[in-house]
C-alpha cells in the first residue's frame, strides 16, 4: 500500500469510529426546563432610546428545517433605536444535555447570513475588546452588506461552558473539518455542555457607539453573563449575578 493512501484511510477510519461511538454511546438529550434569566442581564428600556423585542427571522437560521431542529431553552432578541441608529442584541441559551456543540456553532452569521443573500465585506478573527475597564473574550467581528445594500456591523461569540469557541482564523460558512471531528468526540464522551450564542449588531460602526447608554448596559450584562475574558473576571462576575 502506498504511503500516500494511508492518510485518507486513517481519516476515514477515525470518522467511522466517531460515528459508531456517537451512535451507540452518546448521552441522550434531556428536556431542559426553560430558564428565564436573560432579562436579568439585558435592559428592557434605556432613557432616550426606543426598545423592542424582535421575532426570529430567516437570518437566525439557514433553513426552516434548522429552525425546527435547533431548539434552545431561551432566547432574547432586543433592538434599541434612537433616530437613525439601530443597535440590537441576540442571545440564545442551551442548557446541559440540550444541543451538540457542532449544531450550535454552525448557525452563525458567516453561514446563515450568506445563505440568505448577504455578503461579508470585511472581517477580523478573534478580536479583543476592552470596554469600561473590563476585558472581554475575543469575538468574531464582521461587516455584512444585506440584500438591499445596507451595511450591518456585527460581533458574535459562542460560549461553551463559559469559554469562547475558537472558530479559527477563517470565514465559517462551512465548519472547520478538524474542529468538527473534535466536537463529535466531545459530544460522544462528555455530552452536550451549556452554551450561549451571542450576537450584537448595529447599522453604524460599533466603534462609534461603544459608549452609548444601551451599548454600555448590554455589554455590562454580557460581561456578567460570561463574556468576561479571564477565569478570575468571570468568577467575579458570577458573584455579581442577580439571584
Which structural domain, as residue segments, surrounds residue 61?
A: 3-239
pLDDT at 24: 39
Nearest to 220 by CA among 232, 202, 233: 233
Classify burial at 192, counting beta carbons within 10 Å of its beta carbon; exposed 0-12, middle 13-18, buried 19 or more.
buried
pLDDT at 7: 56
Distance CA 180, CA 118 (A): 25
CA dist 4 → 7, 13, 15, 181 (Å): 7, 15, 18, 22
pLDDT at 23: 42
Helix, coil or strand: residue 170: coil
Grid cell at residue 123: 472581517
pLDDT at 46: 96
**Considering its fold, how many domains does the chain have in total?**
1
pTM attached to this predicted model: 0.78
Distance CA 25, CA 188 (A): 6
Residue ranges in the chain whose pLDDT is less than 70: 1-36, 58, 61-70, 176-177, 180, 185, 230-243
Helix, coil or strand: residue 184: helix
pLDDT at 59: 72
Residue 203 · residue 151 · CB < 8 Å = yes
pLDDT at 26: 44
pLDDT at 198: 96
Residue 179 · residue 217 · CB < 8 Å = no
pLDDT at 167: 86
φ and ψ at 118, to 5 degrees? -85, 155
Amino acid at each position: 500500500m502506498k504511503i500516500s493512501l494511508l492518510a485518507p484511510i486513517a481519516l476515514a477510519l477515525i470518522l467511522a469510529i466517531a460515528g459508531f461511538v456517537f451512535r451507540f454511546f452518546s448521552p441522550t438529550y434531556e428536556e431542559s426546563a426553560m430558564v428565564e434569566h436573560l432579562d436579568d442581564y439585558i435592559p428592557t428600556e434605556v432613557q432616550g432610546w426606543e426598545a423592542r423585542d424582535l421575532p426570529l427571522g430567516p437570518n437566525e437560521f439557514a433553513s426552516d428545517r434548522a429552525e425546527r431542529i435547533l431548539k434552545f431553552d431561551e432566547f432574547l432578541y432586543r433592538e434599541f433605536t434612537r433616530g437613525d441608529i439601530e443597535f440590537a442584541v441576540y442571545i440564545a441559551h442551551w442548557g446541559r444535555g440540550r444541543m451538540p456543540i457542532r449544531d450550535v456553532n454552525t448557525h452563525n452569521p458567516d453561514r446563515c447570513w450568506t445563505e440568505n443573500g448577504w455578503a461579508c465585506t470585511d472581517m477580523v478573527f478573534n478580536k479583543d475588546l476592552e470596554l469600561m475597564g473590563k476585558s472581554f473574550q475575543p469575538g468574531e467581528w464582521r461587516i455584512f452588506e444585506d440584500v438591499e445594500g445596507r451595511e450591518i456591523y456585527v460581533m458574535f461569540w459562542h460560549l461553551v461552558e463559559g469559554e469562547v469557541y475558537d472558530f479559527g482564523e477563517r470565514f465559517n460558512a462551512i465548519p472547520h473539518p478538524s474542529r468538527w471531528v473534535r466536537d463529535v468526540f466531545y459530544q460522544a464522551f462528555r455530552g452536550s455542555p451549556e452554551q450561549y450564542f451571542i450576537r450584537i449588531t448595529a447599522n453604524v460602526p460599533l466603534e462609534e457607539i461603544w459608549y452609548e447608554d444601551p451599548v454600555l448596559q448590554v455589554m455590562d450584562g454580557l460581561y456578567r453573563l460570561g463574556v468576561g475574558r479571564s477565569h478570575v473576571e468571570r468568577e467575579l462576575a458570577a458573584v455579581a449575578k442577580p439571584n
